[in-house]
C-alpha cells in the first residue's frame, strides 16, 4: 500500500491552509508544520503559528513548529547580505526554498515517515512520459505562477513533492474554498515583501544587521566621467532612474557598479539592453546536461515575461544568448529556463 503521508509547510496564509484541506480530501495523511525562520518576520510570528495551528485543529490534522532561525540566518540572511556587499540583487525566496522548504523540511518529513512534502506554491509536479522523469511545470494561474522561484529544488525530490494549487486558475478560487470551509484566514492579505524585511526597507535592514554602511562615492558614465555623488552602492539597483540627483541632457539609469572604485555607473536607456548573459550555480531538472545549443524561454525576474533564447552549458555555467536584447538584467537574480511549460532548470546571473 502506498505511503500517502505528507508534511505540509504552513505559513498561516490562505494558500497553505487550503492546501491542507485539498490534500486531506485527496486521501493524504497530512501533517502541518510551520518553520520558525526569523523573529518578527511576516511569515514567522505569533499570529502565523496561531493561524496555522487553528486551521490544523479545525480540519483535524497534527501541527508542529520547528526552530530554524539559525539555519535561516546562515543560509538565507547571510546570502542576502553577501549579495548586496558584492553589488548583486538577491532573491531570498529562492534560497529559502532550496535550504528550508525543500531542504530542512524534507529531512523532517523523512524523520516523520512521510513520503511526500507539500507547500502552497502555484506550480505542478508530474511524471513525463516524453522525458522519462518527474518534471516541474508552470501552474495554471498565469502571472501568479511560482515555478520561477522553485528552480533550485533537487531533481530527485520532484516525485516526492505535491503542489495542490497547481490546477487552479486564480487566487479567488482558493479564497472561496477557504470561505466554504469556514477558515478564518479566508480574507487574510498576501504577504508581498521579503519576509524578514516586513516594512520593505531593505537598506535599513542591511545597515542594522551587517557591516554595510553608507559610503559616498562617484556616479560616473561608461567613460568614467564623474556626473554626481552616490550614498552607498547598496542603495541602487540596475535600471533605477529616480533618486540619482543628476541633471543631464537625457534620462539616466543605473547600468552597474565598480565595487573597487566605489562607483555607480549610469547611462542612457539604450545602454540598459543586453543580448548575452552568463549564469552559474546551475541546477538542471529536465536533463542531466546540455551538450549543444538549445532553444528555450528564459525568465530573468519573477515579474518579467519570458524571452526566447539559446543556451549552452560549459561545466556548471550556462551561456544565454537572447533572440532580442533584454532590459536591465541584474546579477544576483535568477535566470530560469523553460521548454513549453516545463522548467528545464535555472541558475544565478553573473553578468
Best CA proximity match to 139, nearest among 156, 130, 126, 127:
126
- How many whole angstroms separate alpha carbon 300 and alpha carbon 306? 7
Residue positions annotated with a catalytic role: 96, 195
Best CA proximity match to 8, nearest among 60, 67, 52:
52
Best CA proximity match to 83, nearest among 330, 277, 344:
330
Dihedral of the alpha carbons of 188, 64, 100, 105, in degrees to the nearest 10: -120
Within a 10 A sphere around the Cβ of 165, how many other Cβ atoms? 26
**51 — phi, psi (to 5°)?**
-60, -45
Instruction: Based on DSSP, count helices (H) and strands (E) in the chain, helices before strands.
Output: 8, 17
Place of cell 497547481: 166
Dihedral of the alpha carbons of 116, 342, 283, 10, in degrees to the nearest 10: -40
Amino acid at each position: 500500500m502506498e505511503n500517502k503521508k505528507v508534511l505540509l509547510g504552513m505559513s498561516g496564509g490562505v494558500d497553505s491552509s487550503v492546501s491542507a484541506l485539498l490534500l486531506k480530501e485527496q486521501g493524504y495523511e497530512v501533517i502541518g508544520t510551520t518553520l520558525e525562520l526569523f523573529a518578527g518576520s511576516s511569515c514567522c510570528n505569533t499570529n502565523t503559528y496561531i493561524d496555522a495551528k487553528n486551521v490544523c485543529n479545525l480540519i483535524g490534522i497534527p501541527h508542529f513548529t520547528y526552530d530554524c532561525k539559525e539555519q535561516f540566518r546562515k543560509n538565507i540572511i547571510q546570502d542576502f547580505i553577501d549579495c548586496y556587499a558584492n553589488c548583486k540583487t538577491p532573491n531570498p525566496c529562492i534560497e529559502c526554498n532550496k535550504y528550508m522548504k525543500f531542504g530542512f523540511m524534507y529531512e523532517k518529513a523523512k524523520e516523520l515517515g512521510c513520503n511526500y512534502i507539500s507547500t502552497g506554491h502555484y506550480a505542478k509536479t508530474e511524471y513525463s512520459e516524453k522525458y522519462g522523469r518527474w518534471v516541474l511545470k508552470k501552474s495554471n494561474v498565469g502571472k501568479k505562477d511560482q515555478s520561477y522561484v522553485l528552480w533550485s529544488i533537487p531533481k530527485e525530490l520532484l516525485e516526492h513533492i505535491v503542489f495542490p494549487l497547481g490546477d487552479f486558475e486564480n487566487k479567488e478560487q482558493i479564497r472561496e474554498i477557504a470561505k466554504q470551509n469556514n477558515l478564518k484566514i479566508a480574507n487574510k492579505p498576501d504577504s508581498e515583501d521579503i519576509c524578514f524585511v516586513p516594512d520593505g526597507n531593505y537598506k535599513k535592514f542591511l545597515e542594522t544587521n551587517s557591516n554595510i554602511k553608507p559610503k559616498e562615492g562617484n556616479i560616473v558614465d561608461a567613460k568614467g566621467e564623474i556626473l554626481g555623488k552616490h550614498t552607498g552602492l547598496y542603495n541602487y539597483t540596475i535600471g533605477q532612474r529616480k533618486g540619482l540627483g543628476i541633471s543631464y541632457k537625457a534620462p539616466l539609469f543605473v547600468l552597474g557598479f565598480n565595487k573597487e572604485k566605489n562607483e555607480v555607473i549610469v547611462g542612457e536607456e539604450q545602454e540598459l539592453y543586453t543580448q548575452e548573459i552568463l549564469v552559474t550555480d546551475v541546477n538542471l531538472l529536465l536533463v542531466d546536461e546540455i551538450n549543444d545549443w538549445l532553444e528555450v524561454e528564459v525568465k530573468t525576474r519573477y515579474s518579467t515575461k519570458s524571452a526566447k533564447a539559446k543556451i549552452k552549458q560549459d561545466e556548471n555555467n550556462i551561456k544565454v544568448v537572447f533572440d532580442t536584447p533584454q532590459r536591465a538584467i541584474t546579477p544576483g537574480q535568477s535566470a530560469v529556463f523553460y521548454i513549453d511549460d516545463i522548467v528545464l532548470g535555472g541558475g544565478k546571473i553573473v553578468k
